[in-house]
Structure 1
Amino acid sequence: MDKVGIGIIGCGNISGAYLKAMASFPILDIRGIADLNHALAEAKASEFGVSARSITDLLADPDIEIIVNLTIPKAHVEVGLRILDAGKHAYSEKPLGINFAEGKKLADAAKAKGLRVGAAPDTFLGGGHQTARTLVDQGVLGQPVGGTATFMCPGHERWHPNPDFYYEVGGGPMLDMGPYYLTGLVDLLGPVAQVAGFAIAPRKKRLITSEPRNGEFIPVEVATHVAGVMAFENGAVVQVGMSFDVAGHKHLPLEVYGTEGTLIVPDPNHFGGEVQLLKKGGAFEVQDLSSPYADGNYRSIGVADLAHAIRSKRPHRANGDLALHVLEVMEAFQTAAGSGQTVAITTRTARPAALSESLVDGQLAR
């Protein structure tokens, strides 16, 4: 196999999940990791048996083709542009940028240079979500009518050691968790055409209860409770709720409704989970998972798919157009909240090709 050289910039919390999962994909050759805090990079490198290098060194390495950008959201586009300027493909953690304008700047730069942009989330490629995708493609729901997307929790300051960025510009529940839910829905239903929404921030500061900063207050710069509606190009209308202000709830993460049935889709922050289908007149039935990647955390499958796509010269699934469309939709909730008007979405994206073949054993997924 002609492996693809990989570099990673950013060694925070999420990097461990990427490094662990990347070992499952033979096409990926991790050639080094870097962070502005070199000691952090060295510690992570020691843990996973890879090399800690400087950012400059990674960008200059001719054997690295893709650099995975795991920096904080406010740095995604700045670092992504440096990656493209170095002549390498860029794969970003979510969101693609903290606003649509800067996300478009990154996407346009990649197209001008003939390079690729990939972006998380890639959980929609997991076995649970691809099983749901297969059912939708088979037409078992009939005409899509609507759905619900719900993420609600009391806030990340309960568990994250440094939760500040969740409440700064570029954070909030929509930009933090919305990408999982909206990307999954676009994969199932296609692009969004219009958004209506409301957004509030009930508290101006948050109390950290995690260690080591238990008892410290941090300011809130963004809306922490967002609700609204997405009208899809295919006619479906989906209700959305994203919150860091809810103590508890009983809503399922994703439900999709059609004229002939209802589909319960697993939590889009995970790759597996239970898929349930109710056909009109019947009862909910658990579905057998028909696709791979339902049995663990494969956070980096989007990078592996990008690597295979480069080698086989085909489109990659967790792509820049998809991420940019989702970013525009997420921003539209805040725009709609501020204006009191429905916001038309300007971008369109094709549904990514379904994934049914394994990338772990080196097969090329078409």
Structure 2
Amino acid sequence: MNKVGIGIIGCGNISAAYLKAMASFAILDIKGVADLNRELAEQRAAEFGLTARSVEELLADPAIEIIVNLTVPKAHVAVAIQALDAGKHTYSEKPLGINFKEGQALAEAAKAKGLRIGAAPDTFLGGSHQTARALIDSGVLGMPVGGTATFMCPGHERWHPNPDFYYEVGGGPMLDMGPYYITDLVNLLGPVSQVAGFAISPRSERLITSQPRNGERIPVHIATHVAGVMAFDCGAVVQIGMSFDVAGHKHVPLELYGTEGSLIVPDPNHFGGQVELLKKGGSFEPQETTQPYADGNYRSIGVADMAHAIRSDRPHRANGDLALHVLEVMEAFQYAADSGTTIKINTKTERPAPLSASLSDGQLAA
């Protein structure tokens, strides 16, 4: 196999999940990890039997084709631009950028250099979500009508050791968790055309209860409870609620409704979970998961798909157009809240190709 060299910048919490999952994909050849905190990079390298290097070394290494950018959101675009300037394709953690303007600048820079950009989430490639996609594509729901997308919790300061960035610009429940839900909805229904919404910040500061900073208070600079509606090009209208202010709730993560049936889609922050289908006149019934990658955390399959796409000269699925569209949609909720108007979405994106046979031939992975 003609492997693709990978350099990882950013060795925080999420990097362990990426590095563990990357072992599942033979095409990925990790050439090193880097972080501004050298000690953190060395710890992660030791954990996975890799080499800790400087950012400059990774960018200068001709054997590295893709930089996987796992930095905090406010650094995503700056690091991605560095990678592009070094002649590397780049794949970032979500969101693509902390606002649409900088995400658009990144997309334009990549196009000008003839390089690829990609971004998480790639959970929509998981077996349960691809099973839901296959059911929708088969027509069992009839004409798409609507749905709900719900993520609500008390806040990430309960468990994250350094939760500050969740409450800074580029954070909040919409830009942190919204990418999972909206990306999966675009995978299932297609692009969004309009957004309406409200956004509030009930508290000006948050109390950290995780270690090692238990008892410390941090300021809030973004909306922490967002409620809105998305109109899709296909005609469906989906309600969305994203919150760091809710003690508990009973909503399922995703429900989709059509003229002939309804579909329960599992948590889009995971690759697996139970899909349930109700056909008109019946009741919800569990559906067999017909696609692979539903039995674990494959957080890096988007990178592997990009690597195969580079080798076979085809589009990759977790691509820049998709990530930029989702970023515009997420930002539009705040614009809608501030203006009291419905916001038109100007970007367009194709539904990513379904995953059904192998990453190497453009279908599924190995």
RMSD of aligned residue pairs (Cα, Å): 0.8
Alpha-carbon distance in 1 for matches of 2:141, 2:154: 34
Alpha-carbon distance in 2 for matches of 1:130, 1:168: 33
Contact 1:292–1:358 (CA under 8 A) maintained in structure 2: no
What does residue 239 of structure 2 align with?
Answer: 239
How far did residue 74 of structure 1 move? Answer: 0.2
**Paired letter, 2:32:** G
Q: Which runs of 4+ in 1 moved over 3 A?
A: none
Contact 2:354–2:363 (CA under 8 A) maintained in structure 1: no
TM-score normalised by structure 2 residue count: 0.99
Alignment map for 1:167-186 (pairs within 5 Å): 167-186=167-186
What does residue 329 of structure 1 align with?
Answer: 329
What does residue 354 of structure 1 align with?
Answer: 354
Contact 1:158–1:208 (CA under 8 A) maintained in structure 2: yes
How far did residue 365 of structure 1 move? Answer: 2.7
How far did residue 356 of structure 1 move? Answer: 1.2
Contact 2:314–2:362 (CA under 8 A) maintained in structure 1: no
1:210 equivalenced with 2:210 (yes/no) = yes
Alignment map for 1:113-124 (pairs within 5 Å): 113-124=113-124
1:87 equivalenced with 2:87 (yes/no) = yes
TM-score normalised by structure 1 residue count: 0.99
Alignment map for 1:1-366 (pairs within 5 Å): 1-359=1-359, 365=363
Alpha-carbon distance in 1 for matches of 2:181, 2:14: 18
Alpha-carbon distance in 2 for matches of 1:237, 1:163: 33
CA shift digits 1:200-247 (9 cap, x unpaired): 000000000000000000000000000000000111000000000000
CA shift digits 1:65-120 (9 cap, x unpaired): 00000000000000000000000000000000000000000011001100000100
Alpha-carbon distance in 1 for matches of 2:320, 2:33: 23
Alpha-carbon distance in 2 for matches of 1:354, 1:125: 8
Q: Secondary structure at the match of 1:268?
A: coil
Contact 1:157–1:206 (CA under 8 A) maintained in structure 2: yes
Size of the aligned set, in residue pairs, is 364
Alpha-carbon distance in 2 for matches of 1:290, 1:258: 21
Q: Secondary structure at the match of 1:231?
A: strand
Contact 2:183–2:322 (CA under 8 A) maintained in structure 1: yes
Q: Secondary structure at the match of 2:351?
A: coil
Q: Secondary structure at the match of 1:14?
A: helix
How far did residue 198 of structure 1 move? Answer: 0.1
Which structure 2 segments of 5+ residues have no match?
none
How far did residue 319 of structure 1 move? Answer: 0.2
Alpha-carbon distance in 2 for matches of 1:11, 1:364: 30
Alpha-carbon distance in 1 for matches of 2:29, 2:137: 34
- Identity among equivalent positions (%) equals 79
How far did residue 154 of structure 1 move? Answer: 0.1
**Paired letter, 1:365:** Q
**Paired letter, 1:42:** E
How far did residue 357 of structure 1 move? Answer: 2.2
How far did residue 364 of structure 1 move? Answer: 5.2
